[in-house]
Structure 1
């Protein structure tokens, strides 16, 4: 009882600290930024990102917000174009300080249109010249516009030659709404699976990369697992899956991985041991290791990461402005360019493609090399064994799952 109360106090204290950090990060940010600016306001020096947005959120009826954090049984599709100012540091989202936004300095919406399913297919055909699609799933504590602007930033900064598709699920955008968000991710599994199937069935699409962040990795894995169980395999068009800071219980992840079947996409996972958001998630989840905090350079992980096809990027030493250390995949210029230009373009990380410049310490898949003057080695790794956290001689449930032990349910 005493231990349980102590854990609960630590969890509540951690949540309170996280809440205060989130308030600081969001301070001064206006709401309702999605109303398109007039054509004469568009800056000639700005770049723009056109994306197709699919969502299981409830429509707001307000063009300034478009969708709420509540759940809808119907999938909605929207064509959005975001203007991004030219004078801006890579990895940053320049939120307007007042409305309407100033496109010389701020991210701004220049076009927004609701689409039917046939219109969405037409949009895809006209915006997909090379057949490559990047599908992004955001994480916990995100408003609709949060996910739109973050994805636009990533696509623009990565310079990936892909067609951007955003899937945004119902989040109440509150640190204290963790359980609601988790259930909303569960609620959205079928909607996301159908979105992936529609893309895979489209004749203009030849290659799909799924990139998910934080709690969105749960939704991505569950939807891919559902597809595999229903169809016998994940669609062969889904060739790459990127899990950034995955908020996944390691044992559950092992079961999900196993049930994807023998023909899996190529997986890349980014981890960071200083991720404060995942530290709180671990407390909430009963002190079970999260995949996004695994250390691929040490046992028991290192020896278990050498048999199958997953690349693990350890971003612990990478520094960004994010005080939670939870969004390095999008905020670090080097990582943005690595993930975007190399993976989202359909390429697989190899030792010749990981050079990120002098001085950047990055551990790749179980090695202790840092990327600096010499490129680090990329080691193929069995994702289901990424992080058991078990040093005992008895096999964990995860290990039993991986070995196909029929006694493990």
Structure 2
């Protein structure tokens, strides 16, 4: 073994141990998670719980285990379901209260009250039954190491805590929910690309949908960007109703991302990217990917990376490195850090780009363009490609 390959193996092992330890720590602090938490539970009127009614589209295989619904294996076709999650009162913003045992207690735990399989023909009526004249849809694509129940509860938590008025649609791809299954999960995103493209195009074509926002986390960002690129290549452009794409801690090779954005063409949605230089999960991903920089951990103080981002018209990057709180890995601040949750919610409700409200969410903000090399002291640093270009 060469010295360089030995160093890479050591770094990978060290990062894998760190991520596994952090994941175990988060699991222990949130209590052990039993299997089968998606068994429907009746919630009485005496429980002051809120509900999130979501549409689920998934390429996972159905599970025969009660309360699991969909496994981490790959399914034969795209499946749909209507799932309603009950959110307990008196919980911290950004947190998920997992049941200690099955069935959960709706007074203190996240539980589901309804799990109904849907055919493709039933999806359109699901949109029709929703209240409101202007229907804005939020399609969420989860990340690596995410079992189906975790995807459902995380999205329900995010929708509830942001208080957004968007219609929640979860796209769940086959993840085995294990840190050691990185390559399997990565291939599962490729397996699911055409199905996500179908879901996005179908939502955009629906007369009952006025706007589509895409929120993708971690490895799910690769899947989301690939699906959008596929739509652009096959149809000549991305559907105009898809107005905004939010990439949270994207596990994306920066070289590949540049090419993906170029191939989407000029008529593409605005993009907002959340990055953090101390994202431990993406440090592991970078090691596994041949030491190529991940977009979600890009260093905006490095002029070389900033110059590359300047080429992406309509791309805004929010650096959350200095923002305190959230998860132990600094990988899910978009959903777990209370200031970010409120910021995203306020902007989604208003139908505005996320960066427009950054200064009101977490104190001071640096908007950087030509002065990318300056020392970063603000909780959120904002990089706008159009601002950078205008300073030259």
Alignment gaps of 5+ in structure 2: none
Q: In 1, distance between residues paired with 2:360 and 2:377? A: 10
Residue pair 1:305, 1:381 contacting (<8 A) in 2 also: no
**Aligned position for 1:222:** 226
* 1:169-318 mapped onto 2 (5 Å cutoff): 169-306=173-310, 308-318=313-323
Q: Secondary structure of the residue that 2:160 maps to in structure 1?
A: helix
**Aligned position for 1:46:** 49
- Structure 1 residue 363, shift from structure 2 partner: 4.5
Q: In 1, distance between residues paired with 2:191 and 2:53? A: 27
**Aligned position for 1:25:** 26
Q: In 2, distance between residues paired with 1:98 and 1:209? A: 35
**Aligned position for 2:129:** 126
Q: In 2, distance between residues paired with 1:142 and 1:362? A: 32
2:108 aligned with 1:105, yes or no? yes
Residue pair 1:309, 1:382 contacting (<8 A) in 2 also: no
Which residue among 37, 41, 44 is the counterpart of 1:37? 41
Q: In 2, distance between residues paired with 1:159 and 1:312? A: 23
Q: In 1, distance between residues paired with 2:324 and 2:381? A: 19
Which residue among 19, 43, 62 is the counterpart of 1:59? 62
Residue pair 1:84, 1:108 contacting (<8 A) in 2 also: yes
Q: In 2, distance between residues paired with 1:363 and 1:200? A: 35
The alpha-carbon distance between structure 1 residues 170 and 362, as it changes in their structure 2 partners (threshold 3 A), is farther
Q: Secondary structure of the residue that 1:313 maps to in structure 2?
A: strand
Q: In 2, distance between residues paired with 1:137 and 1:121? A: 20
The count of corresponding residues between Structure 1 and Structure 2 is 379
Q: In 1, distance between residues paired with 2:291 and 2:89? A: 44
Residue pair 1:334, 1:356 contacting (<8 A) in 2 also: no
The alpha-carbon distance between structure 1 residues 349 and 329, as it changes in their structure 2 partners (threshold 3 A), is closer
Q: In 1, distance between residues paired with 2:212 and 2:353? A: 13
Q: In 2, distance between residues paired with 1:313 and 1:179? A: 28
Q: Secondary structure of the residue that 1:70 maps to in structure 2?
A: strand
2:79 aligned with 1:76, yes or no? yes
Deviations 1:177-231 (A, max 9, x none): 0000000011000111111111111101010000000000000011101111100
**Aligned-residue CA RMSD in angstroms?**
2.3
**Aligned position for 2:339:** 334
- Structure 1 residue 333, shift from structure 2 partner: 1.2
Q: Secondary structure of the residue that 2:360 maps to in structure 1?
A: coil
Q: In 2, distance between residues paired with 1:293 and 1:381? A: 21
**Aligned position for 1:14:** 15
TM-score (norm 1): 0.87
Deviations 1:31-57 (A, max 9, x none): 2100010244x6531111000000000
The alpha-carbon distance between structure 1 residues 282 and 80, as it changes in their structure 2 partners (threshold 3 A), is same
**Aligned position for 2:146:** 142
Q: Secondary structure of the residue that 1:186 maps to in structure 2?
A: helix
The alpha-carbon distance between structure 1 residues 357 and 113, as it changes in their structure 2 partners (threshold 3 A), is closer
Q: In 1, distance between residues paired with 2:6 and 2:382? A: 45
